[in-house]
């Protein structure tokens, strides 16, 4: 099957969240399973030589290749197979300096870029033209989130009669229904499609343009990143106003859990951590705890439970109840390292609490991949009390490092963490969070019990192989629509 993956961020080129991890890992696995795959994304400022090897195709199109020369990383069959067979996936970059040669992907310090509709409409249209130019007759165009939602919209509107696309179907993956790509109605003309599509059943949402909604209406298959989330978004509580559209397309809505890229997130081979370790040499994990405590200027102690957070600082990630509970949490027998950026409100709350409890909390208000690795490896417990979570990668990463996740029972967290390998609370209240933290600290004191938990967590296998197989079945379904 010919598959074009269209995403606004792709690891290793650009990343603000989990979408980039998916868009970088799924194509490689699809290729290993025999599919013909390409990726198309915007060329941002950071995508430059010599950091990446980039070739020119046209004055406004360049490309790179991912998945070539992957170093042998583990002795697992799947990965050594990857080294042998995967000869890379081409990533095409849509260039337009006025739109993409900026510091941020979607926003700057003052907020979202004002011309985001122009930027991603340009990206979507140029992508559809590019596929024609390189004669890539995709069976499936797999789009992700509002940034590429215009592709299924254009295909069923301005490109509806285009012979090149007569046999192309679209799969549209929603990574987070809370981000919909809303724009003022008076920008509709920029899309170059008939005003008749601006109606409640299609692109209109309370008198605004809603790109996510449009993508959901015009794609052939809607998909989300975990089975539980695919059900949750069909309810008023989680649907963010789009539950009605989903109800109408109920038979076309599916959920596939994201996989984890074990070539990146592997304690045996991770280059960022102080000491590599494995299930067999689990004690070496504690060297990473010491290292993290030193880096974070926390007292170096093995017997106190070290909690880690790597997250966007947003209400969705549980920061509302966390902020309410933080005083109480700091008075408990624990240490807490927080890495993240996000809502200024939480920056301020956390900065104030650090001043009060400098020996308990260490705060890093930035995006820092190497430090994230150190936190996953060095912490005892990974705190992820998300209010809702489409899939979540943090809990999967932490488990592979024997760091026990503590989560709220929702979405992908409910699908991946159980009492067998983590801590799960089911009432979204600060009291519920505090109680679960208390429970985890008590469990941490029982060395034998803790070792068992770590082993269970590390034995999980959330590789992309199974998810990619599920995606191929989904593509087949889309083809038969
Ligand atoms: P999101 O909703 O943000 O996409 P996910 O859990 O799906 O949440 O994925 C988040 C990804 O981004 C994880 O790989 C996590 O380690 C990474 N991440 C989040 N914040 C930071 C940060 N401040 N520094 C480094 N990595 C981060």
Give the tens place of pLDDT for each residue, 446-477.
999 999 999 999 999 999 999 999 999 999 99
Q: What is the mean pLDDT of residues 305-312?
A: 97
* Protein residue closest via CA to atom 20 of ligand 1: 311
Element (H, E) at 381: strand 381-384
Q: What is the pLDDT of residue 86?
A: 61
Give the rounded percent of residues in the chain with a pLDDT score beyond 90: 94
393 lines ligand 1 (CB under 6 A): yes
Q: What is the mean pLDDT of residues 15-19?
A: 89
The C-alpha atoms of residue 203 and residue 214 are separated, in whole angstroms, by 5
The C-alpha atoms of residue 32 and residue 261 are separated, in whole angstroms, by 14
Q: Residue 169 pLDDT more than 50? A: yes
Element (H, E) at 433: helix 430-445
18 lines ligand 1 (CB under 6 A): yes
Q: What is the pLDDT of residue 217?
A: 98
Among 83-92, 123-132, 370-379, 421-430, whose mean pLDDT is lowest?
A: 83-92
- Å from CA of 130 to ligand 1 middle: 31
- Å from CA of 430 to ligand 1 middle: 23
Angle at alpha carbon of residue 435, lines to 430 and 439, rounded to 5° = 150
Q: Residue 263 pLDDT more than 90? A: no
Q: What is the mean pLDDT of residues 249-278?
A: 96
Nearest-atom number in ligand 1 for the CA of 19 is 4
Nearest-atom number in ligand 1 for the CA of 376 is 16
416 lines ligand 1 (CB under 6 A): no
Nearest-atom number in ligand 1 for the CA of 340 is 23
- Reported for 319-325, long-range contacts at CB under 8 A and 24+ positions apart, including other chains, are 319/343, 319/346, 320/387, 321/385, 321/387, 321/428, 321/429, 321/430, 321/432, 321/433, 322/383, 322/385, 322/430, 322/433, 323/349, 323/350, 324/430, 325/430, 325/433, 325/434
Q: What is the pLDDT of residue 87?
A: 77
392 lines ligand 1 (CB under 6 A): yes
Q: How confident is the model at residue 445 (pLDDT cuts 50, 70, 90)?
A: very high
- Å from CA of 17 to ligand 1 middle: 5
Q: Residue 72 pLDDT more than 50? A: no
17 lines ligand 1 (CB under 6 A): yes
Q: What is the pLDDT of residue 162?
A: 98
Q: Residue 387 pLDDT more than 60? A: yes
- Å from CA of 161 to ligand 1 middle: 40
- Å from CA of 311 to ligand 1 middle: 5
Q: How confident is the model at residue 228 (pLDDT cuts 50, 70, 90)?
A: very high
- Å from CA of 107 to ligand 1 middle: 17
Q: Which residues fall within 8 angstroms of residue 236, CB to CB, at 6 or more apart?
A: 243
Q: How confident is the model at residue 419 (pLDDT cuts 50, 70, 90)?
A: very high
Mean pLDDT rounded to a whole number for the chain: 95
164 lines ligand 1 (CB under 6 A): no
Q: What is the mean pLDDT of residues 386-405?
A: 97
Q: What is the pLDDT of residue 261?
A: 86
Write out pLDDT tens, residues 77-136: 344 444 445 679 999 999 999 999 999 999 999 999 999 999 999 999 999 999 999 999
Q: For the CA atoms of 444, 447, 450, 454, what is the dihedral angle to 10 degrees?
A: 130
310 lines ligand 1 (CB under 6 A): yes
25 lines ligand 1 (CB under 6 A): no
* Protein residue closest via CA to atom 3 of ligand 1: 17
């Amino acid at each position: 099957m010919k598959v074009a993956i269209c995403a606004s961020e792709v690891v290793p080129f650009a990343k603000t969240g989990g979408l980039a991890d998916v868009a970088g890992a799924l194509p490689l696995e699809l290729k290993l399973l025999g599919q013909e795959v390409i990726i198309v994304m915007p060329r941002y400022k950071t995508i430059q030589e010599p950091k990446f090897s980039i070739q020119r195709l046209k004055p406004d199109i360049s490309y790179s290749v991912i998945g070539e020369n992957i170093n042998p990383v583990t002795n697992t069959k799947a990965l050594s197979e990857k080294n042998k067979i995967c000869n890379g996936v081409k990533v095409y970059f849509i260039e337009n300096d006025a739109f993409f040669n900026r510091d941020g992907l979607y926003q700057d310090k003052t907020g979202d870029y004002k011309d985001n509709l122009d930027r991603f409409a340009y990206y979507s249209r140029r992508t559809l033209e590019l596929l024609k130019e390189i004669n890539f007759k995709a069976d499936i165009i797999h789009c992700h989130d509002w940034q590429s939602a215009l592709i299924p919209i254009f295909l069923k509107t301005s490109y509806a009669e285009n012979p090149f696309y007569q046999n192309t179907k679209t799969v549209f993956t929603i990574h987070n229904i809370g981000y919909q790509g809303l724009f003022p109605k008076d920008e509709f003309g920029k899309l170059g499609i008939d005003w008749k599509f601006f109606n409640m059943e299609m692109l209109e949402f309370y008198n605004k343009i809603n790109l996510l909604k449009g993508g959901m209406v015009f794609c052939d298959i809607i998909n989300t990143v975990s089975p539980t989330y695919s059900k949750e978004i069909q309810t008023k509580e989680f649907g963010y106003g789009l539950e009605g559209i989903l109800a109408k397309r109920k038979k076309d809505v599916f959920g596939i859990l994201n996989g984890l890229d074990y070539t990146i997130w592997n304690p045996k081979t991770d280059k960022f951590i102080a000491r590599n370790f494995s299930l067999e040499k689990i004690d070496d994990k504690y060297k990473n705890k010491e290292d993290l405590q030193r880096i974070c200027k926390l007292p170096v102690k093995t017997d106190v439970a070290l909690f880690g957070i790597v997250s966007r600082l947003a209400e969705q990630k549980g920061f509302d109840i966390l902020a309410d509970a933080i005083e109480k949490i700091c008075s408990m027998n624990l240490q807490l390292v927080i890495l993240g950026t996000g809502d200024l409100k939480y920056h301020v709350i956390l900065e104030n609490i650090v001043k009060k409890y400098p020996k308990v909390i260490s705060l890093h208000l930035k995006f820092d991949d190497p430090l994230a690795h150190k936190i996953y490896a060095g912490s005892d417990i990974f705190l992820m009390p998300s209010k809702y979570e489409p899939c979540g990668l943090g809990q999967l990463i932490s488990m592979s490092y024997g760091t026990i996740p503590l989560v709220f029972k929702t979405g992908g967290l409910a699908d991946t963490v159980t009492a067998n390998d983590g801590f799960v609370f089911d009432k979204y209240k600060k009291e519920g969070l505090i109680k679960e933290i208390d429970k985890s600290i008590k469990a941490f004191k029982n060395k034998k019990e803790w070792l068992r938990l770590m082993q269970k967590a590390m034995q999980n296998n959330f590789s992309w192989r199974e998810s990619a197989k599920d995606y191929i079945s989904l593509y087949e379904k889309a083809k038969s629509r």
